[in-house]
């Protein structure tokens, strides 16, 4: 093991290299660029033996990965924001073709207006594409999750693509010490991909094809079943990763000081780190608050959410994006999970940090105060600036 000072983006690059990715394809977009630049360096220096296909769009980047995966290669790409939106069509192709692609996504706001700050609208709007989605809190977790994701994606009971996301700039361009496992450790944890490739030169075969109603629904059901198997397989993969490296990131819904809590906030990504310090502060003054983090968003950790809700009366969900006409997307998911819970706490959807606005301790404080006061509005835009006026 070596400790390096890495940005979240370089953590992605190092993980893709350690995974011995065979085909990389990417198109540049801020703030993803340093991921693919570093990978270009690795390939140029010979540290990584991979085919690196530099394409003319994100749509093509993901198509290259889908086609390369169809032939049996281990593939990686990375994107952000508008690039992910352009990939949307191919996201469905990747999951439908059961392509075990791993993709780094730097969560960034979508236009208009142009904004390159942290925001989850890009990946939230891809919830229904059949991709497994992880949201990382630290650069170490980025690296570890990318490696775990290859195992998960290529597992014969899963064979689905995975997004490993990180907040723009808070992780993508912020450096911190990261333990980088030795190649031999990664090789033992992640052997070469066992190909289930249908396409083989010299044989009649077709991947994709077309069907009428007589087969289509069964194909979709296969994807649904694979998604349902993810939680159990993730548990195994994380345990094996822990044995190999000593690190474990807490499964689908890591929790913090939730025992006996009167109010719990559910966060995603880097807002969690801020919220954790606020929990410590409030706990120190005798306020019973706790925290849970949606590390895995697809498949959604329904069981863990219901377990969390069983002992608390107030839950707030902090979303860094908004579903127009509804509420924060994570809040809608939590709300859905709670419907069949034996105990249903009051639920508030907090919107904060949208478009790269900082989620400050002050705001997290206010969220907990709102919950503890007993006022439980359904939706609350926590960091709107009343004095800021824009044309609408």
Supply the minimum distance, in Å, between the C-beta of residue 150 and other proteins. 15
3-state secondary structure (DSSP) of residue 256: strand
Supply the minimum distance, in Å, between the C-beta of residue 58 and other proteins. 10
Largest CA distance in the chain: 71
Residue 217 binds other proteins, judged by CB under 8 A: no
Residue 28 binds other proteins, judged by CB under 8 A: no
49 alpha-carbon distance from chain centroid: 27
Stretch that binds other proteins, among 129-137, 174-182, 209-217, 227-235 (CB under 8 A): 209-217
Residue 43 binds other proteins, judged by CB under 8 A: no
Please pick, from the candidates 9, 13, 22, 32, the single residue that binds other proteins as defined by CB under 8 A.
22
Interface size with other proteins, residues (CB under 8 A): 44
Residue 215 binds other proteins, judged by CB under 8 A: yes
Question: x/- string (CB under 8 A) for other proteins, residues 248-287?
Answer: ----------------------------------------
Residue 50 binds other proteins, judged by CB under 8 A: yes
Stretch that binds other proteins, among 22-30, 34-42, 302-310, 366-374 (CB under 8 A): 22-30
Supply the minimum distance, in Å, between the C-beta of residue 154 and other proteins. 15
Do residues 78 and 12 make contact, with C-beta atoms less than 8 angstroms apart?
A: yes
Residue 185 binds other proteins, judged by CB under 8 A: no
Beta-strand relationship, 132-135 and 255-256: unpaired
In angstroms, the Cα distances linking 60 to 27, 56, 148, 298 are 8, 7, 26, 24
| CA gap 359, 192 in Å, rounded | 41
- CB crowding 106-136: b at 16 or more within 10 Å, else e: bbbbbeeeebbbbbbbbbbbbbebbbbbbbb
Please pick, from the candidates 112, 202, 213, 286, the single residue that binds other proteins as defined by CB under 8 A.
202
69 alpha-carbon distance from chain centroid: 21
């Amino acid at each position: 093991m070596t400790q390096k000072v890495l940005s979240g983006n370089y953590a992605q690059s190092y993980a893709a290299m350690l995974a011995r990715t065979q085909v990389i394809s990417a198109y540049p977009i801020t703030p993803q660029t340093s991921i693919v630049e570093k990978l270009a360096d690795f390939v140029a220096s010979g540290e990584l033996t991979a085919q690196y296909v530099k394409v003319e769009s994100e749509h093509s980047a993901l198509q290259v990965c889908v086609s390369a995966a169809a032939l049996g290669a281990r593939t990686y790409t990375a994107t952000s924001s508008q690039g992910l939106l352009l990939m949307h069509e191919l996201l469905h192709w990747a999951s439908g073709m059961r392509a075990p692609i791993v993709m780094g996504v730097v969560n960034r706001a979508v236009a208009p207006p142009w904004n390159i700050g942290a925001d989850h609208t890009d990946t939230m709007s891809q919830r229904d594409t059949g991709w497994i989605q992880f949201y990382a809190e630290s650069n170490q977790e980025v690296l570890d999750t990318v490696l775990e994701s290859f195992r998960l994606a290529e597992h014969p009971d899963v064979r689905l693509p995975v997004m490993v996301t990180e907040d723009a700039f808070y992780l993508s361009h912020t450096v911190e010490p990261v333990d980088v496992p030795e190649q031999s450790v990664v090789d033992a944890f992640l052997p070469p991909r066992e190909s289930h490739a249908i396409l083989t030169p010299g044989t009649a075969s077709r991947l994709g094809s077309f069907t009428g109603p007589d087969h289509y629904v069964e194909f979709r059901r296969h994807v649904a079943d694979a998604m349902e198997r993810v939680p159990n397989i993730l548990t195994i993969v994380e345990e094996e990763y822990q044995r190999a490296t000593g690190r474990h990131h807490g499964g689908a819904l890591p929790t913090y000081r939730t025992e006996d809590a009167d109010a719990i906030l559910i966060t995603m990504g880097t807002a969690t780190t801020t919220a954790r310090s606020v929990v410590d502060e409030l706990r120190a003054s005798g306020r019973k608050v706790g925290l849970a983090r949606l590390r895995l968003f697809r498949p959604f950790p329904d069981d863990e959410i219901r377990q969390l809700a069983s002992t608390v009366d107030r839950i707030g969900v902090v979303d860094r994006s908004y579903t127009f006409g509804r509420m924060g997307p994570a809040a809608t998911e939590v709300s859905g999970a709670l419907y069949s819970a034996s105990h249903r706490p009051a639920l508030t959807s907090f919107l904060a940090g949208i478009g790269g606005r900082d989620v400050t301790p002050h705001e997290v404080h206010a969220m907990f105060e709102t919950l503890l006061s007993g006022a439980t509005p359904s939706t609350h835009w926590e960091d709107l600036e009343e004095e800021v006026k824009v044309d609408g």
